Amino acid sequence: MKILKYIIWSIAGLVISCKNADYQVIDNRIYISSAANSSEKAETITMNNGADIKILVRLAKKVSEDVEVEVKLTPSLLDNYNKENSSEYLPVPNFSLPGQAKVLIPAGEISAIYTIRVEDFETNGNRYALGVELGGVVKGNIARADSQSRFIYLLAKPLRVSVPEMSGSNNQVNALPTDKWGINTNQWSLECWAKMSAYSINNQAIFNTGSSDHEIYIRFGDANRPYNYLQIKTLGGQIQTASNLEANKWYHWAFVYDGNTLSIYRDGELDVKFQPPAPNGGTVRFDQFQMVSSGSYFRDRCQMGQVRLWKKAITQTQIKNNMYFAINPKNADLIGYWPMDEGTGDTFKDITGNGHDAAAGAGILRSWISNVDFKN
């Protein structure tokens, strides 16, 4: 009988204990506000002479006691983010938080802000981020919301660069070597920013690449008026955008061939796509790379920058993430990367180190435009 009573009391005590535990965990939690409100689990912080990252730490509801929680950096958070988003974010170099970094939510308050100051630093084309996590709760009987206690702050230094203004002549911009690259690839992608002064004539070709039997020819305008559309001819097929391009407006273009489908992205959004004929031999061969290549047909002026040629099909996420920023020039999937931001002269450096530096022939380069922001 005594044993039975002991068992009953033990079970009752366990139930009460579980209820109290559930009440403490479920009824109130501490979390990072951005982690609760963003499906991306990341936020882009623009760096202009450094950045102040303001981390809003919240409770589910107010309590009558102080609540204090540790704040720590967790670089490993970037690993999964990079894998899921095809990105290459690195932890901010030589950076740490003050010892025993904590944030205090005073009694009767529901939130407090912890500020992380990141001083300006040279990125050298790399992208950096901070993985932030709430650590242990050191004051207050509050549980941490595990899934909402981690967040990534992506640091971005927007491009503000010089760009060349070009138009046609009897020459073109040629990348080295001028022929016989002999690069074969199952997939490819080509990106650039371009702004045209007008679309007054057909066949204003911004790119001519590939090879004689694996042509990639990209131009503004074909036979049909008005000529304010972009067309790509490749592998014996072609497709074009709607005739709605505006003069004196920056557009980001990305052309992506995944081995089957050719897609054109305008400002990060899919514009049109089609399936060209299969390439001879099963792969596309690159033997040359030219810009502004249609001679006297290229009458209008074109500003251009951030030209990137890949030997893989980049994703829409990559396109959107990298449109406004420099990228790592040592990415093994880059064939060539021409920022075209020299600001002087008539040559454009291929910063991948692959040796495809480009030079504008006589009459192509008309001027340099400085302090360009592609968002405007």
Q: Which of 20, 17, 34, 335 is closest to 176 using CA atoms?
A: 335
Residue-level pLDDT at 53: 97
Residue-level pLDDT at 124: 82
For residue 168, give both structure tokens. 């046609």
Q: 67 near 132, Cβ under 8 Å?
A: no
Residue 12 in this model has a pLDDT that exceeds 60: no
Range 246-265 burial, b when 16+ CB lie within 10 A, else e? eeeebbbbbbbbbbeebbbb
pLDDT by residue (tens digit) across 84-135? 888 889 999 999 998 889 999 999 999 999 999 999 998 888 899 999 999 9
**H runs (alpha helix) in 38-132:** 77-85
Residue 243 in this model has a pLDDT that exceeds 60: yes
Residue 5 in this model has a pLDDT that exceeds 60: no
Distance CA 181, CA 215 (A): 14
pLDDT by residue (tens digit) across 315-337? 998 999 899 998 889 999 999 99
Mean pLDDT of the chain: 91
> What average pLDDT does range 44-49 have in this prediction?
89
Local confidence band at 212 (pLDDT 50, 70, 90 cut-offs): confident
Residue 43 in this model has a pLDDT that exceeds 70: yes
Calculate what percentage of the chain has a pLDDT beyond 70.
93
Distance CA 131, CA 101 (A): 15
> What average pLDDT does range 234-248 have in this prediction?
97
Range 295-310 burial, b when 16+ CB lie within 10 A, else e? eebbebbbbbbbbbbb
Residue-level pLDDT at 14: 35
Strand extents, DSSP E, 147-212: 150-156, 161-166, 173-175, 183-185, 188-196, 204-210
Distance CA 221, CA 102 (A): 60
CA distances from 338 to 9, 303, 352 (A): 76, 14, 8
pLDDT by residue (tens digit) across 245-289? 999 999 999 999 999 999 999 999 999 999 999 999 999 999 999
Q: Which of 231, 287, 288 is closest to 264 using CA atoms?
A: 231
pLDDT by residue (tens digit) across 61-85? 999 999 999 999 999 999 999 998 8
Residue-level pLDDT at 3: 41
- In the chain the domains, ranked by start, together with CATH numbers, are 28-156 (2.60.40.1740), 161-372 (2.60.120.200)
Residue-level pLDDT at 1: 44
| Torsional sign, CA 55, 56, 60, 61 | positive
